[in-house]
Amino acid sequence: MTMTWRNRRVVPALCAALVLGLMLWTGCDRGGSDAADEDEAPAWHYGTTYHVFVHSFADGNGDGIGDFEGLIQKLDYIDEMGFESIWMLPVHPSPSYHKYDVTDYRAIHPDYGTMDDFERLLDEAEARDIKIVMDLVVNHTARDHPWFQQAVGDTTSPYYDFYVWQDAEAVAEAEVDAGPDTDNRRMWHPVQDVDSVDAALNDQRYYGYFWGGMPDLNFDNPAVRDSIISIGEYWLDKGVDGFRLDAAKHIYEDDRADDTKDWWRTFRAEMEATDSDVLLVGEVWDDAEAVAPYFEGLHSLFNFDLSGNIIEAFQTGQGDSLAVDLADTRATYDDIAPSFTDATFLTNHDQPRILNELPQPMHMRTAAYLLFTLPGSPYVYYGEEIGMYGIKPDPNIREPMLWAPAEEDSLRATWIEPEHSTDSTVTSVAVQDERDGSLLNLYRELIHLRHETDALRRGSLHPVTYEGMPKRLSIYERRSDTGESLLIAHNVGAQAADVILPDELRERYGTVWHESDARVRPNDAGALLPPATSVIWSDAESDATADEDPV
């Protein structure tokens, strides 16, 4: 028996130019408006999210592996930092440490605890008004999943059609036709190392986009679609507040992108019918033009372009295009879905940690200022706030969180011997917490500042450039419909830079509202910014007020 491969609004405003002597200031409203309307996202979608790998976060039972008990013990820390939601990497049963190959979508991995433990986590998080976002992996299952085991054991089983199959001969022919550079062969896999295999599969191959241990589900099968919808409803009924959708671009193959988007529209409608405030945030690792159409089915998408642009700005010492590029991206998104929420981040669990990407550690502070003062809903990868390190392979960018010096750290996971984030390279939470000006306290300050300031949380983006502006500067306005308005400047370069504001901006923003540190030198023209510094001015008529100690 053979089954063949599945057939597989706001327009950006024109820039107004002001010629002021030799200066030209442009402030383009390319970022779209965050004005409330009937399609506005729930308020919590605009909050700051903590991105947690439970396996490495906090070990509550002493077995060396992070768990729900440890996470519960650190909810007060997460709350005090100002995080409004937690995105957890997969927590379902799985044969791998990362758990992206699921064997049971309705259960909890025993390494992390029981279902009772998970429900207690939900209750404890709710008591602190912290939302829980679960990583949901629906592009594929594990080979050990009962669906796949039944499929390979009997090709007459209904679960055979839960996966994608093709004749081995057809796979080989496609490989020849596609040429030597094709990825076709690596995506089609023979059934091996399985106790009971239907003989009919000897000449068959199953499709696994990522690798053979992760066979792709067949979303042309209505039973698959219904099963995934039912799984989503199950967890929402448990009290989960949203889902991060892994590999959201790969439900179907690339030439069937419209079918993938249609699936997400269906899934969104069904999830919203269960919980109108649900958040669906998707991983679509692509440029803005390719990402934008997915907002028709997903509330939020990760902004990989911005992550790369921030890193490149520090590596090249040129930040003048950061806000301009982001404003263009937001205009593209806004044209598709005015209620979009842009999931911004520095790096995540699949990338080298941000400190490994920056030319100097001091740039980390300015990177944080960029993340929390640019528009979007920021995601912070656990340990980023204390300056953890890590480069590929993947386990080394998922090393244990350092809560206290090793001899005092009863919650530190020990499942892996860390190579990059150790007591000799990273200062723990407990120590940084007591140090004024530490990276941890800077993150806490910026998260609270953003949370309490509508111009930062919801304000529109207006890039600022002028003739002669040093390329190492990134300058932009954030304007809120509530009346708050801020002007923000960063120096991402290796040399000091003068911010010389045009008269109109200098008159409007007469008050320094926040400085990154004492090295910033405000002056009558604007400010002198040493390397890796930031300054924020408030509008003279703005409602924004900076607490001297916002923490």
Catalytic one of 216, 246, 357, 384: 246
Annotation marks residue 246 as catalytic: yes
Nearest-angstrom CA–CA distance, 33 and 36: 9
Q: Interhelix angle for 304-316 vs 322-336, to 10°?
A: 170
In 3-state terms, what secondary structure has residue 327? helix
Three state DSSP letters for 76-142: HHHHHHCCCEEEECCCCCCCCCCCCCCCCCCCCCCCCCCHHHHHHHHHHHHHCCCEEEEEECCCECC
Annotation marks residue 216 as catalytic: no
Nearest-angstrom CA–CA distance, 92 and 89: 9
Number of C-beta neighbours around residue 157 at 10 A: 15
DSSP code, position 12: P
Catalytic one of 59, 101, 283, 320: 283
Helix (H) or strand (E) holding 358: none
Q: Are 253 and 219 in contact (CB under 8 A)?
A: no
Instruction: Name 228's Cβ contacts closer than 8 Å, sequence gap at least 6.
Output: 138, 217, 267
> Which one, of 342, 346, 283, lies nearest residue 310 by Cα?
346
Instruction: Name 328's Cβ contacts closer than 8 Å, sequence gap at least 6.
Output: 12, 30, 288
Which residue numbers are catalytic?
246, 283
